[in-house]
Structure 1
């Protein structure tokens, strides 16, 4: 029993003390039966019992409250309250969640103090967020918080409600009793919400990345290659476009009509975790069915030479159609388009000259682009879902990590080798490509990486940077989806 183990040695008081500071994790202490726990502990400490029979029900009550408080506090702080795979449609990163075995392990702990200490998030980002939270709390005076608590608590929906939780919501969502434009906390509230969501995100138990890994941060539109505390490489990326306005309502309409023209676009880049294991140079683009139906069909209908001019081959039942310009597109409904489309290697290929393949997905990958001007944009959520890399040659060099292989790769994209002793070979290769008599056809080449590198496509809207917090816009609305859940526990 927890009471027998921890009443006399102060373990239960330690649990109570941690729960008192739950707001520094963004949680109301009422989530963890704080009032009930305090009352029963005080009653036992008082020793005001006429006989032993009066003690037993109090001990039983304390045991139940302690077990629930300990398990819930452990799960909230260690795992977070949200399972992102259930609320974010394109969250495909494996996440470890509490189960019956983890609960049994918590209840059977032989050292509650050590357990509570061990589960506290220790990352620099999390500690910076906690510092900022404390600053927000100190901004709102105790009297002001208590004054507003009743109003905010009445407005709040969900399971938890307390003075501190009410103050969070007043700070974030505003005080409806104040005149418009008179809420001084409104601007700060948006950042406070981002911090609370970011803390929840840091509590999710993701796969181990190791010291060396690559991260694409979708809201920041950047790729960073980390090796321990060092940054090996940093560059801009373009990610998938945002969902259409009114997406949810349009989905309902599409489900009713089944018409392709009613289907709303959702090109958001998914969150993934895997390992980069190969590079395709001069790639072929297997055009997805969704793009074929929504874009290629209309372009071919408008311009009969569009396909041949853009090096796009058409296949019918896996057989190449030699002259796609003769296809009568009006005979086919785009919903039942019987063709497959592939864009051949070359300078006009939408994937550019490099495709970086990893084991987490066969349809979403990192690649070069034939539209370099897009990297000048501030908002780079413009692709069909894949990630366009600003400096693919530099990225490829760091992946290959072999001078000979890197020279081979350079020559495939018409760049001279760094090893000058191979210049004659390079010139012969260029001459072969320029051989119009024999109709040279550019084909893809595959290169392995020296060692597969973990890659995570993640969604991070706040992080610590040299003692300050960096904030980024919630481009896909994922923060709002997480906030809708966690606000109930504040």
Structure 2
């Protein structure tokens, strides 16, 4: 269990307080008397604390010597002031500083530093409150910066990124031995795009800034920063980022965009592209499209009932019990479509285009080329069944393979197929698999630090807002 400073150290603390804040009464500081007041304040303040169970575990009511864990270690040396400033700066994380008791800590720090108490006992409630509000503020600030304020699983059923939400500060650690300044520095999110969004808020707060952020843009930034705190795996090194609301794919290396392209994503209303991540480890050149049952049972069967030669016209085939069937001879009006599977053979008219990019996930989501290039001219590109269509597949395969000869071979192969040569499906392994993150940010930043604002195409901001509002900075 957490142990605090010794009694002798606390009495020395009183003498040091008197010297630091020029208040003689602090010299008469009595540890036992203070801790009795501390226990009373703990009981009184519990309803105001965000994590009373954690606080109770740390400040075990049976332990009469831990009521100055933070104040005893960090008040005189100024490190508690640094914590206070970090809590005030929570607004640059899109968070309300008052959620972390910053306003109360401001008043209490001023009181214990400047008030000339007639009796030392008058200082005990202020010091106890400073201790409790600081501890509760610290643990919640740490947990929110590390994991986010809201559990994404409670917002979206289609959030498929792993989530871990333990207490970031372990209750077994001794807080008065914590290197508080280093802990607070290390706690700051390292993601370059998070930092750029934070800088937008910092610049907006400067009096000399002429063009201020709108309330709508601020809200988008706040919600996007919250989402950036969610992933267990950080965005770092070389990776792909699909931003659904922006309809954009970025090929990123060390927070710099190497290539950016348009994408089409799942249509709202039942075909939304899920939020997930994985490692792209292979691609299929001249791919076969294994048509999902959801599409076969609706679009394919409907077309077949109108035209029994539909499959031939679309370079598709049907199988029953693993055997190829002659489509025009089947009575599709009475056929049980669940007994059939459908594929589209490789070719220039394949719905997956000339290449698809695979990463392991249980939802059969992947990135792929498309023959429907006209869609990329539209502003609204939520048009697919859920997979992500990419505008520049050849540039993407070059980025992934990082092998000029292999990339050139793929280009020649696909160009020949486009010109009428027989197309054969072929798998290509990616030597160094690359992370891909399919994400949802209505606010983003370009490499120059400018805000990129997008519409809430799936309405996910509206879903998050009610749960995040209690933590959110002012607009």
- In the TM superposition, 1:35-74 aligns within 5 A as 35-38=103-106, 40-41=108-109, 44-45=112-113, 46=115, 48=117, 50=119, 59-74=127-142
Between the aligned partners of 1:204 and 1:109, the Cα distance in structure 2 is 29
Q: 1:311 aligns with which of 300, 311, 315?
A: 315
Maintained 8 Å contact 1:218/1:460: yes
* CA deviations over 1:195-223 (Å, ceiling 9, x no partner): 22122233334414442222222222222
Residue equivalent to 1:322: 325
Query: Secondary structure in 2 aligned to 1:487?
Result: helix
Checking the alignment, whether the CA contact within 8 Å between 1:95 and 1:207 is kept in structure 2 is no
Do the aligned residues in 2 keep the contact of 1:461 with 1:472 (CA within 8 Å)? Answer: yes
Task: Check if 1:454 corresponds to 2:435.
Answer: yes
Deviation at 1:414, TM superposition (A): 4.9
Deviation, structure 1 residue 402: 3.4
Query: Shift of the alpha carbon at 1:108?
Result: 6.1
2:281–2:433 CA contact under 8 A, matched in 1: yes
In the TM superposition, what whole-angstrom CA distance separates every residue of 1:352-404 from its partner, at most 9, and x where no partner exists? Answer: 12111122456111111121222222211111111112222332233333344
When residues 68 and 311 of structure 1 are mapped into structure 2, their CA distance, relative to the original with a 3 A threshold, is same
Query: Does the 8 Å contact 2:262/2:391 carry over to 1?
Result: yes
Q: Structure 1 CA distance, aligned partners of 2:237 and 2:203?
A: 32
309 and 123 in structure 1: CA distance in 2 versus 1, 3 angstrom threshold: closer
In structure 1, the partner of 2:458 is: 476
1:112 is aligned, of 174, 180, 191, to: 180
- Unaligned regions of 5+ residues in structure 1, if any? 140-184, 244-265, 417-426, 434-441
Where does the alignment leave 5 or more consecutive residues of structure 2 unmatched? 1-68
Relative to structure 2, which stretch is displaced further, 382-391 or 225-234? 225-234
Over 3 Å counting, the alpha-carbon distance change for 1:102 and 1:305 in structure 2 is farther
Indicate the SS of the match to 2:272.
coil
Mapped partners of 1:222, 1:469: distance in 2: 14
* C-alpha distance after superposition, 1:79-111 (max 9, x if no partner): 321222331232222344343664655946522
Alignment CA distance shift 1:459-1:51 (3 Å): closer
Spell out the pairing of 1:248-263 with structure 2 (5 A cutoff): none
Alignment of 1:238-253 (within 5 A): 238-243=264-269
Whole-Å separation in 1 of the counterparts to 2:252 and 2:109: 48
1:47 is displaced (CA, Å) by 6.2
- Offset at residue 137 of structure 1 (A): 5.7
| TM-score (norm: length of structure 2) | 0.73
* Secondary structure class of the residue paired with 1:13: helix
2:370 maps to 1:366: no
- Cα distance in 2, alignment partners of residues 20 and 407 from structure 1: 54
Mapped partners of 2:410, 2:205: distance in 1: 56
Tell me which residue corresponds to 2:261: 235
Q: Which TM-score applies when normalising by structure 1?
A: 0.71
8 Å contact 2:191–2:234 — kept in the other structure?
no
